[in-house]
Chain A
């Protein structure tokens, strides 16, 4: 099956499934509307919300950092890890954005992606094709060949279930022995410093609980005013990704703790001893002050706009390629914000599908048009 045939089938199924979910659970649309307003309130006052979030993280016994760019983000994480050797990661685009995995490997650390799709991308030295489904371009045959490299017992004719089980066996030993777990964040609540993560595989639950150090990386655009808003974001993101209900929603607010003796809360308990939140600016603050670009910061990375986009459906990951982990219409915006690169915008056909399907109602074509304008000024 060609890429075009595959992505057309997936796009159609996703479109219909999200429409079904929204019809069956109308409260999701209400939550999306509410969330847009709440996120815009943060964007309008991003400096203050960053400060409030960092204070909240400190208050609950965690450590918060603000990295102004990619290099600073890598340095902060490297310093937190020190001489810790084995690191497990859940799928985090912020880590891709700052090229963290390759950086840590170059420092001699053993680093494993634990999301199945991301794991397949890692072991094939590939690049994610979609923000939610990174190995969307990989069929069973290719996955079997890739997994055979880490589990020689696997046949190239193995079923999808057998392939998933092989990866599970391989990663289980990594979870158990990992020194640190690195995740992203679907939302960060400014009022409590809590991080919300949505998933289906259970790998994030392992990464956030088993290692004794949990590091969460998040763009400052992921900040929402309250924990209630953060749950809204988890719900809306999962629904618009077409995976509803999600199997797991994880909340992390500081290191593990207990109040079982004399109702006195102490830390750590069974889970991690340390919790670190690395907030990443990397162009976001500047974008928040731009009257057009600021709307891009509303994006909740559901990836639905990819499927609606003719250019993405034709070019796939080759559109923006390894310049950025963000692709499709939202990737044009995010590649500009984080890399100051306007050129992929010129392959946008302004079909307008992205605006139709965006849960946050972002006028993506208008923003892309604005980015094109930035490009024309450079010629």
Chain B
């Protein structure tokens, strides 16, 4: 049976701490922005611009999002005693190895984007979080309010097109468009022409639920991987569009035990098809990697 009181407690913290922080800082919780933006400095990405690559910190902070349930009570306590801003950025910090890996992924996504959008920029320390967590946890009214502020935020900075790097951010923008008429055009980087993208390896695809079933990218992703030279092993019983299984990520903030069990179950079924899995989402990577060797598409290709 669902743990009603635990759900209510987490939701209260999300509303009181996360939503408040989003409203004030455009971030769900304080982050070490130097770490989150290091990849862009290294790659020499132009600052700002009409077309921007929007990471929403998903690749940089995925390890933190995975530990959200454990992190939230501490974040909540710090917020209550007014310490969140000063201590938060040290508290919410991925490891060096995680930062390095995220950097590789984002540099490749940037390269793919730049091939068809020369001059694409990045907002660096100013970059706001997408608000995905609000939608996924049912704070629909708050999500809509935040979306209006986000649109204004981008418009003030002259943003005319947004290229997203992950499914959760893309889906947030799609939902803003549907719910509040978000008017800035956006595309996911996987939808751009894959100019010169090549890679190698044999994988079973773990579909992002959002990409395959909500954004209708199931076939596109298979075509893309095939065109890049990757060998993909599909099994209708495990990777079929209607029977695909979640990585457990969305349950992380509410129940990490069930989230982990779901990840383990998914990893086991993927292993029955191929020893190594390919993902397209930073949260899928975080959830599945303890149980099966897994790579992100953007780290096995060379743009």
Contact = CB atoms under 8 A, between A and B. Distances in A.
Interface of A: 4, 8, 11-12, 15-16, 307-308, 310-311, 313-315, 318-321, 323, 343-347, 349-353, 355-357, 365, 369-373, 375-376, 378-379
Nearest to B241: A356
Interface in B238-256: 240-246, 248-251, 254-255
Contact of B2 (A308, A310, A346, A355): A346
A151 B133 CA distance: 55
A379 B245 CA distance: 30
Nearest to B7: A346
B260 to A, nearest CB: 11
The residue among A11, A12, A308, A347 with the most chain B CB atoms within 10 A of its own CB is A347
A365 B210 CA distance: 11
A307 B244 CA distance: 10
Contact of A372 (B137, B237, B255, B261): B137
Contacts of B249: 349
A373 B237 contact: no
Interface stretch (B8-16, B101-109, B220-228): B8-16
A314 B269 CA distance: 13
A310 B246 contact: yes
A315 B141 CA distance: 30
A369 B254 contact: no
Contacts of A16: 236-237
A15 B241 CA distance: 11
Given A345-B138, A375-B11, A350 B242 contact: no
B214 A352 contact: yes
A355 B214 CA distance: 9
A272 B46 CA distance: 82
B139 interface: yes
B160 interface: no
A373 B249 CA distance: 20
Interface in B183-230: 209-210, 212-214
A376 B135 CA distance: 11
A373 B138 contact: yes
A347 B258 contact: yes
Contacts of A355: 213
B240 to A, nearest CB: 7
Nearest to B249: A349
Given A4-B265, A376-B137, A315 B213 contact: no
B254 A376 contact: no
A347 B15 contact: no
Nearest to B253: A346
**Interface of chain B: mostly helix, strand, loop or mixed:** helix
B4 interface: yes
The residue among B136, B240, B246, B261 with the most chain A CB atoms within 10 A of its own CB is B246
Contacts of A378: 8
Contact of A351 (B140, B240, B244): B244
- List the 4 shortest-distance A-B pairs measured between CB atoms, nearest first: A372-B138, A352-B213, A356-B242, A351-B246
A346 B213 contact: no
B34 interface: no
A320 B136 CA distance: 20
B156 interface: no
A342 B59 CA distance: 32
A321 B1 contact: yes
A323 to B, nearest CB: 8
A11 B265 CA distance: 14
Contacts of B12: 379
A308 B258 contact: no
Nearest to B139: A376
A369 B135 contact: yes
B266 to A, nearest CB: 8
Contacts of A4: 265
A151 B236 CA distance: 43
Given A349-B209, A351-B209, A375-B11, A314 B140 contact: no
A240 B237 CA distance: 17
A375 B243 contact: no
A357 B244 CA distance: 11
A312 to B, nearest CB: 11
